Amino acid sequence: MKAVGIIVEYNPFHNGHFYHVQESRKQTEADCVVAVMSGHFLQRGEPALVSKWARTKMALEGGVDIVIELPYAFSTQHADLFASGAMSILSALNVDSFCFGSENGDIQSFLHAERFYHRHHEKVSLYVQRAMEEGFSYPRALSLALKTVGALENLLDLSQPNNILGYAYIKTLVQKNYPIKPYTITRIQSHYHDEELSSSTVTSATSIRKALFAKKSNLQTVDRYIPESTGKYLHEYLLTYGLYHEWENYFSYLKYKLLTMTPQQLQEIYEIEEGIEYRLLHYIKQSKTFSEFIRSVKNKRYTWTRLQRMCVHILNHTTKEQMETALKEQTASYIRLLGMTKKGQAYLKLQKKKLGLPFISTLSKFQHPQLEQDIKATSIYGLALPEPIRSKFLFNEYRIPPILVD
């Protein structure tokens, strides 16, 4: 059986994701689609709209055959570490190919950019450092550096979010020498950051979430943009838990954490550096909402996304020491199965003796610092829920077995 790997968040699974799954299978002629999916906290520093189990069901009914969790240690990171963790899992699962969506849509552009960066690494790094000293974020600094050094090369546009991630995937693939053939497909009709619903049937996950959180909104507002199964699971989640998750649900917990910490204690939290702790502690006292808080702290150096990731680590009390331990190898340390189809089950059976990492289907039989972070993240994620549902949710890591869809 041939398998194609994809790296996803599905926040939530929509028609664009369905297209990506189908095109990945078609272009690579794969029998099986393996998705590495972020857990309860995501790469842009946000809580997922619904739980990882609800999103796993959406994925499996949307054409994915295997869903593996990307550990918190990687799912809440900048592009390079995010890619490193996800690609290490796909490699351990022995996928033949890998396909990602991008604004560019041409795999040769990504390979060319990686080769150029490798040849001119020292010069590019120098320009990156200069740009960051001027107050630019790392992604923006890298984009500017490549444009400057490779002015005559017509290099990949790294100001686009999916191109940034795709470039990180390719860089990891080449540097680690993984025997996986890369593919990319063009993101269709809607941009990653688009906040307004499109006029077609494909729109961004950002616009879907915004619509769901709008006053007097309901699922009918987004019906045309999502598969029927996604609508079913979103409706089911709202009936069961009474909400969709967003940062505002956690703001009081974040505020409590910050109001009870000293600058020295805050400096111990992962990603807190360069004196940002003083801005955080200053603005938390006068902010009434999470969005107001981030708007107040944000500046040229600290992007909205980077600040959100800091807040995720404060909320989960993830220290630099804990993250350093979890990221010792800079690769995932296990394969955590969230769900599969019968076809996915058949693929895993074939690969069982050839997997490159320990395989987890029963949580109590495995221990690792990365897994400890995942379990804690689920507990924190559950704080948004009302009692007595909240208490039950905290045991879901141990209670819910891998989901099997026929």
Residue extents of the structural domains in the chain: 3-103+185-245+331-405, 107-158, 247-325
- Banded model confidence at residue 131, pLDDT cuts 50, 70, 90: confident
| Residues 398, 326: Cα–Cα separation, whole Å | 21
pLDDT exceeds cutoff 90 at 149: no
202 annotated as ligand-binding: no
Q: pLDDT for 254-266, tens place per residue?
A: 999 999 999 999 9
120 is in an annotated binding site: no
Instruction: Determine whether the annotation assigns residue 279 to a binding site.
Output: no
Residue 364 pLDDT greater than 60, yes or no: yes
The closest alpha carbon to 45, from 280, 303, 277, 301, belongs to: 303
Kindly indicate the confidence band of residue 193, based on its pLDDT and cuts at 50, 70 and 90: low
The model's pLDDT over 60-107, given as tens digits with 9 standing for 90+, comes to: 999 999 999 999 999 999 999 999 999 999 999 999 999 999 998 999
Q: Is the pLDDT of residue 152 over 70?
A: no
Residue 203 DSSP SS3? coil
pLDDT at 194 > cutoff 80: no
- Is the confidence at residue 209, as pLDDT, over 70? yes
Question: Is 10 annotated as a binding-site member?
Answer: yes
- Residue 237 labelled as part of a binding site: no
Query: Residue 11, annotated ligand binder?
Result: yes
Report the share of the chain in percent with pLDDT over 70: 98
**60 HSE (CA, 13 A, CB side):** 24
Question: Cβ neighbours of residue 164 under 8 Å, at least 6 residues apart?
Answer: 79, 139, 158
The CATH code that applies to domain 3-103+185-245+331-405 is 3.40.50
Give the confidence band of 394 by pLDDT, cuts at 50, 70, 90: confident
Give exposure, 340-371, as e/b (b: 16+ Cβ within 10 Å): bbebbbebbeebeeeeebebbeebeeeebbbb
33 annotated ligand binder: no
Res. 192 pLDDT band, cuts 50 70 90: low
| 29 Cβ contact partners less than 8 Å away, ≥ 6 residues apart | 2
Mean pLDDT of the chain: 92
pLDDT band at 283 (very low <50, low <70, confident <90, very high): very high
pTM exceeds cut of 0.85: yes
- Is 193 marked as binding a ligand? no
Rounding to the nearest 10 degrees, give the CA dihedral for residues 255, 261, 265, 271. 10
Residue 107 counted as an annotated binding residue: no
Tell me: is residue 185 an annotated ligand-binding position: no
Cα gap 384→382, rounded to integer Å: 5
